[in-house]
Amino acid sequence: MTKPTYAESAEAVVAALQTDTSKGLTASAAQTRLEQNGPNALAKGKKKTLLQRFLDQFKDFMIIVLLVAALIAGFVVHEWADAGIILAVVILNAIFGVFQESKAEEAIDALAKMATPNAHVRRDNQVVTIPSTELVTGDIVLLEAGDVVPADLRLLESANLKIEESALTGESVPVEKTVAALTADNVGIGDRTNMAFMNSNITYGRGVGVVVATGMDTEVGRIAGMINAADETTTPLQENLSQLGKSLTVMILVIAAIVFAVGLWRHAASLPEMFLTAISLAVAAIPEGLPAIVTVILALGTQKMAKRHALVRKLPAVETLGSTEIIASDKTGTLTQNKMTVEQTYYDGELHPATAGVSGDNPLMRIMNFANDTQVQEDGTMLGDPTETALVAFGQGHDFHRDTELEELPRVAEVPFDSERKLMSTIHRLPDGRYFVATKGAPDQLLKRVTQLATGQNVRPLTDTDRATILATNTGLAKQALRVLGMAYRYLDALPEQVDSDTIEQDMIFAGLVGMIDPERPEAKDAVAEAKAAGIRPMMITGDHQDTAEAIAGRLGIIEPGDDAAVITGAELDQQSDEEFAENVTKYNVYARVAPEHKVRIVNAWQKRGKVVAMTGDGVNDAPALKAADIGIGMGITGTEVSKGASDMVLADDNFSTIVVAVREGRKVFSNIQKSIQYLLSANLGEVLTLFMMTMLGWDILAPVHILWINLVTDTFPAIALGVEHTEPGIMKQKPRGRKSNFFSGGVGQAVIWQGLLEGLLTLGVYFIAITWPIHTTSAAIHADALTMAYATLGLIQLFHAFNVKSIHQSIFTVGIFRNKAFNWAILASFLLLAVTIVVPGFNGLFHVTHLDLVQWAVVLGAGVAIIVIVEIVKFIQRRLKK
């Protein structure tokens, strides 16, 4: 067949597949095709073993540097404790990463689980039930309400067949299926009304179809292939950490080499001693705690998000949210409630909001509930077509007791819905022996059978003006993306011998119109507004019709109402090349009637422009785009297991506003990581500068044990505590960082440099004071005191500086000096660990330090306070200049 299957006639498809519609395939022919094409199952993606996932954690450049540092610390410097700590940090980080990502490849498994276990087929002129995995092309499959479609089928028969395809196409209501060939070119998957797709659900009627595709050749199989082929995206956090590790390593090695060479030139120490000093400097300057600190901060962020119903499956996703610039959201079930709801009614010549209700004695209310096949379960849940359940729910919400009414006016006959006449009628016996006919359906078709009009308690002939008014009202409601049904009725004195459309649906009385829609979530509009205020561009990507998508987007504020230029369909998108689309992508905020490959294409187009893209979705059709996006966000309640498996984060409450909450948390997480990095690097730069200048000036230099102990006790606890700082005011009024920013953006890079220099200069200043105004007379005692004071200053000044870093730009008095209890305890613990090496007897010899008197301690503490004062003055000046 040269044409697409949907464009061929049913007879042509059957002939091409060499099958028989009445007898089906023979068992031998089916077995041959099964051997040739394989089972009707989805290929599973190649999974990594637990060991492979563990080893992958060590591919990061910073981790490799730390492993080298651990080996040097142990085998060269013989600081086995420091080496052990570094190794422990690296291994724990790897274990945590494996644990978080152990469920990252569940999408294909979830797709396979969705497949129906059995199928009813014709084989050898008999109807048999076989496992769906044994289906082959050419099999004749029988479908009825409640079935799951077992493969892709070209429909041969359709008796009021409706199929729910929202998980595949995004269509919010079941699709009425036909048999006739489609003549249009490039028909989108949502408009292929003569096809039934694997894993979709039969909600109404029955049908027969011939299998045209199985396994990976089905539409669901194509999605599975796209998921398998999708490359894992690197998050901005991972990119920044890798870049930071490489830059630091180069700088540290250069500085260590200079210190080593200058030290030998100045005869500051022997060659082995200078080598140990240079290596110690390199080990100390590397922020070995950074991976663990980042992991802890991210893990704490995941816990807070979980409490707000955002479940993070991959740690870096926490921070990625904070840099998100585009949120490409599915419509059905994400921005909307995925539940048809009555929004407006029209009767007595006027439109009424749903809140106004309809009185129980109004024929409109009876027709809504009588011409309806919805079944209400004991627990109150409703089974049936979403449109019909919406009508029953409307009645329940306005005190219409359907069960009681049907007991008094039982259904005695019906004229079922037919896709050609687009009407449905039920007949109910009245207490007086007459019969009430309730008819609902397409307004234009209904009006052809209406001759009278109900106005209040009166009935009068329907005029041409009335007819024009009703049609205009129908058009107006449809333009609002409402699904409109017309309602009419009549009374019969007796049932005709032949109950059909010709005898029942004639000379009817028009009762009114009902407009329904899958409404937007109440909180979604505010969430969209907050996202826009935060500089994030919300977009809608849906398989639904253009009018519906445009109306919902306008109501949510994603586009201005009536802004047609911001809306594009999948068919229109196909007409643009990748280059053209890359030029035009900024024009569009709403994509309607799209296929899975369109969603991936949209995500990729924005990523090529350097944007960080978040994609939300709940259907099978969303999975490839969820995996391709920088952060995929699945729905926990309405979402398929496929979409959850492809996601980085799952919304447990399916609430769009939860995304905004998660973005706020993500921004806080990045801000806190940035604070920790500023603290760590400025402290390490202070250490490097101190050692470098002492070497250049020919002073006694700090021993390796001094540098390593300061690095150990002042780095870890305060840096982690900075990671749990509270959210700073106005964080959601800032523009997204984007992909091009890094940890040194926003003035952090300059702050690291000048604050690190300040720490080093203050330390050198204390050393200079100690040797210029000594309290001892011997040279050895003077230098011992000076080294001890420099050692104490270098440690304490970092702890004092941690208070400055509680906010990169704002005053510590604004964010609260002692608000973070974890931070307070961390500073106290680090101070005690540092002080014990000086004041507790026995440690002096081990650390080559002396006891200090009160004056000396006052000088040390004065330097610590000085850095707070100086940094706060500079931040104040920066804020004033910015204003």
Catalytic residues: 330
- Residue in 53, 49, 211, 32 with CA at minimum distance from that of residue 122: 211
Do the strands 152-164 and 195-196 form a parallel or antiparallel pair, or are they unpaired? antiparallel
What's the maximum distance between 2 C-alpha atoms anywhere in the chain? 127
Which one-letter DSSP state was computed for residue 456? T
- Residue in 621, 778, 813 with CA at minimum distance from that of residue 190: 621
- Residue in 744, 684, 672 with CA at minimum distance from that of residue 710: 684
User: What sign does the CA torsion over 188, 190, 193, 195 have?
Assistant: positive
Separation CA 490–CA 650 (nearest Å): 51
SS in 3 state form for 665-692?
Answer: HHHHHHHHHHHHHHHHHHHHHHHHHHHH
Token couple for 668: 């806080």
- Residue in 227, 236, 232 with CA at minimum distance from that of residue 316: 236
* Cβ–Cβ < 8 Å for 540, 549: yes
User: Strand, helix or coil at 763?
Assistant: helix
In order, the DSSP letters of 287-301 are -TTHHHHHHHHHHHH
Token couple for 612: 């960080």
Token couple for 118: 């059995």
User: Strand, helix or coil at 569?
Assistant: strand
Token couple for 740: 């091009």
Separation CA 370–CA 403 (nearest Å): 10
Separation CA 723–CA 746 (nearest Å): 18
Cβ-count burial of 696 within 10 angstroms (0-12 exposed, 13-18 middle, 19+ buried)? Answer: middle
Which residues lie closer than 8 Å to 715 by C-beta, 6 or more apart? 287, 289, 680, 683
Helix locations, 398-507, DSSP H: 402-408, 443-447, 464-479, 501-504
Token couple for 500: 């059909």
The conformational region for residue 747 under phi > 0 = left, psi -120 to 50 = alpha, else beta, is: left
Cβ-count burial of 420 within 10 angstroms (0-12 exposed, 13-18 middle, 19+ buried)? Answer: exposed
**Looking up tokens 């000076």, which residue turns up?**
786
Neighbours of 749 (CB within 10 A): 13
Neighbours of 311 (CB within 10 A): 17
Torsion of CA 33, 34, 38, 39, to 10 degrees: 140
C-alpha 52: how far from chain center: 26
* Cβ–Cβ < 8 Å for 800, 866: no
* Cβ–Cβ < 8 Å for 823, 725: yes
- Residue in 660, 812, 798 with CA at minimum distance from that of residue 725: 812
Token couple for 330: 């599915």
- Residue in 137, 138, 141 with CA at minimum distance from that of residue 128: 141
Do the strands 350-353 and 341-347 form a parallel or antiparallel pair, or are they unpaired? antiparallel
Separation CA 732–CA 769 (nearest Å): 47
In terms of residues, how long is the chain?
A: 883
Q: Which residues of 126-153 are buried (b: 16+ CB within 10 A; e: fewer)?
A: eeeeeebbbbbbbbbbbbeeebbbbbbb
